[in-house]
A and B are shown apart, each in its own frame.
Chain A
Amino acid sequence: MVLKDKKLSYHGTDRSLLARQGTRGKSRVRAIAVGGSVIMGSVILAGCGTSSPTPSASSKVVTVTFWDGLTGALGNQLQAMVTSFNKTHPNIHVVATYEGSYAGGGAEQEKLLAAIQAHNVPDIAQIEVHSVPVFASVGALMPLTSFVNKSPTDQPQSFVPGMTVSTQYQGTTYAIPFNRSVELIYYNKAMFAAAHLTNPPNTWQQLVQDAKVLTHGTGTTKVFGFSPVADWWPWESAVWSGGGHILSPNLNQAEFDKPAALSVLSMEKALQQNGYGLVESGPEKFSLTTESFITQRVAMDEDSSANIAYVGNQVGTKFPWGTVMMPKDVTRAVPPGGADIAIMEGIPKATAQAAWKFIEWWTSTPQTIRWSEATGYLPLKKAALTDPAYQTFVQQHPQEQAALEEIRYQHQPPASPHYLGVLGYVEIQLSAIFSNNVPVSTAMHQAAQQANTILQAQ
């Protein structure tokens, strides 16, 4: 599955395609090495149990192991913040290790599965927002209700509305927002002005019209009006915006092949077919789309809000640009993006308490502002939005505004333990639609049938 915003790095670091691909390759090699050692380690440690600090000995330092999925500048920022936490909390020592991407099918997730089976889990882990139900449904995550209820700072209403959509499974909180993003439409203001368009699109109909007007030129100098990404993340928004549903309410039937669920997807496909839309394919399709926007091959594209800082650095003063919320069709709805943090089930109580302290610290207003300003991820707390320092930051980075507005339109993805498998089939058929010209309804009907086989297997 495609990596979303997690391999991005910011603020003057080397963000070339090659560098990122290099990181990916490395992470795979590491994945194999670490995967091997996880298995080895679990064999060796099987009889040893987990070293548990005694709760009574308050002077003892409690070690909290943390598996994260952030590399490059993001990983460095994470480490820097963990170091500051450790400095200010002498009784707790958080050890954060990069385990590969946390995306569905990413190395961190694979290792977590192996660790759960081997009963040798880390204490806390970053969990991709769509995977929280997957891990929660099998009892791998510790319910956080009692922590949340007692917390002076992390009550659900303290978070930005819409931010906690991904953190619950069957009414119980299993995760806390950690590094979060939403998808946006990026648009080239210079091209809009040249085409005499005054406002960015607000609806999919407007986007289609604008894309036609913005398309010009031929051959290698052709500019495409819009570049959608043939990926399940924006696809979720497409299904919901058209008034469709991904799964039935009881989660055992795919409904994304119904007409409403296909309307936005069909508009995107028509744009591609008529030469107004550029759709990238292959494992690097997200990066390629971003690069197309930066190099002015497209006037609008779909991208993660976590990419604002990177695009800003790359575009510089070459052209003015802005972001706008994902358009609405029948309604406006976007999936959450990024990751939450969860405490693993079965770890000692004292460790869980120390882990919770770290989570509270991370989500605290000053820390979430620090994280957001350094990385471009969304601030988690309501209080951050009214903080003068953060308001100054948004004034300097006006593209963040659309992301902040969009947070409340986040929709909870289906909380099915089989959902990642469903997305796997969708991803294949999206590729069939845009790379192989399979009709939208045929492809999605096939994906729905395949999805039903895993949804109805039990």
Chain B
Amino acid sequence: MADRNEIIMIGPKNKTALRESFGSWLFLSPALIAVLLFLILPAGYVAYISLFQSTIVNPTNRYIGLANYGSLLRSASFGNAMIHTIVFAIGVTIVVVSMGLALAVQLDKNLRGTRAFRVIFFLPYVFPLVSSGLAFMWLLQPQYGLLDSLLTRLGLPAVNWLGNVHTALLMVIAVTIWEYLGFYMLIFLGGLQAVDVNIKEAAAVDGATNRTIFWRVVIPSISPSLFFALVISVVQAFQAFDQIYIMTQGGPVTATTTLTYYIYTQGFQFFNMGKASAVAVLLLILLTGLTFLQFLLGKKWVVIDN
């Protein structure tokens, strides 16, 4: 079988195939050109810049090989940003996936007011993160903010939520969860509604409890949705920038400096495009690795229904 395919590949029919596929390539070309121009070429250029020591106006001032990577891996600030990113990603992913699923399960029961709740939970996702960040910044403001004025009314001390190194990252995580929860709820809801009722009923007839049905029938059925949610949530968390830029600018101290914000400070505060690019390349490698790992592990638990 394989041999025959190979013969076809190098045979004269190949030209015909090429001619036939030309139309497809033509239709694909606008997208391919866009991907090439705005994704692959810039990414390649970033990798190239990462090998140079930069000046403010000349990113490729002096070739220094992998020195940017070396200094990054030795620097405490990079390690710090990495830890914040991991905490951020774990915090956001665990909550949006588990709460998103829990909400979806409730909304899937077709109770009264389900539609209204669906809209309410999804609404934050419609707002740009910039405006959500601003709104939360206002709510968390220590002098006039709603949260602290409630706390002081209850006789509790006001907390400078975004100005305190112990709470700032938590608050940024909270806003991110608030923003994305509805999105994940919707993904799970889609998955839940596609679960075959017959299987559930068959399990019930066989005497399975609701809990068993959920873990043995529902979860495997929606595992592709779960997998998708996990991958996207981790990628999204690693790319978080807007809410940090708006709410904390990476501070106090560097408590909310994640990898993407670190790239920004290296590039635009320290004008070190070489180093910023090196961080970007490391981020790309890390995300590719993580996603690959997720796919690898996914094979063990994601049920793909053929």
CA of A189 to CA of B251 in the docked complex: distance in angstroms?
34
Q: Report the Cα distance A411→B204, complex, angstroms.
A: 82
Contact A138 B55 (CB under 8 A): yes
Q: Is the CB of B265 within 8 A of A435?
A: no
B134 touches A431 (CB 8 A): no
A101-153 residues at the B interface, CB under 8 angstroms = 104-105, 109-110, 113, 116-117, 134-135, 137-140
Chain A residues lying within 8 Å of B131, measured Cβ to Cβ, are: 25
Could you tell me if B251 and A140 are in contact, using CB atoms closer than 8 angstroms?
no
Stretch in contact with the other chain, from B205-213, B217-225, B241-249: B241-249
Is B128 within 8 A of A282, CB to CB? Answer: no
Instruction: Tell me what chain A mostly uses at the interface: helix, strand, loop, or mixed.
Output: helix
State how many residues of chain A have any CB contact under 8 Å with chain B.
Answer: 48
A421's partner among B134, B142, B269 (CB-CB below 8 A) is B269
Identify which of B57, B242, B252, B271 contacts A436 (C-beta below 8 A).
Answer: B252
**Whole-angstrom distance between the Cβ of B142 and the nearest chain A Cβ:** 8
CB neighbours (8 Å) of B160 from chain A are 281-282
Tell me whether A28 and B163 are in contact (CB under 8 A): no
* A395 to B263 CA separation, bound complex (whole angstroms): 50
In whole angstroms, what is the CA distance A282 to B165 when docked? 10
Assuming the contacts A28-B130, A428-B254, asked whether A457 and B53 have C-beta atoms less than 8 A apart, the reply is: yes
B251 touches A283 (CB 8 A): yes
Q: Which residues, 109 to 159 on B, are CB-close (under 8 Å) to A?
A: 128, 130-131, 133-134, 137-138, 141-144, 152, 158
Q: Which of A29, A281, A435 contacts B130 (CB 8 A)?
A: A29
Known: A25-B130, A25-B131. A420 touches B246 (CB 8 A): no
B164 interface hit (Cβ, 8 Å): yes
Q: Judging by beta carbons under 8 Å apart, are A283 and B249 in contact?
A: yes
Give the complex CA separation of A450 and B253 in angstroms. 14
A21 at interface by CB-CB < 8 Å: yes
Contacts of A24 in B (CB 8 A): 134, 246
Q: A432 an interface residue at 8 Å Cβ cutoff? A: yes
Q: Which of A18, A424, A454 contacts B138 (CB 8 A)?
A: A18
CB-based contact A138/B245 at 8 Å = no
With A25-B246, A282-B160, A283-B248: A435-B253 Cβ-Cβ less than 8 Å: yes
B70 CB to closest chain A CB (Å) equals 13
Cα A21 to Cα B143 in complex, Å, equals 15
Residues of chain A within 8 A of B163, CB atoms compared: 280-282, 285, 435
Q: How far is the CA of A60 from the CA of B268 in the complex (A)?
A: 39
7 pairs, CB–CB < 8 Å, chain A vs chain B: A25-B131, A28-B242, A109-B268, A113-B56, A134-B271, A431-B253, A458-B53
Going nearest first, the 9 A-B pairs with the smallest beta carbon separation are A281-B163, A421-B270, A435-B252, A282-B163, A424-B269, A138-B57, A432-B253, A283-B249, A431-B253
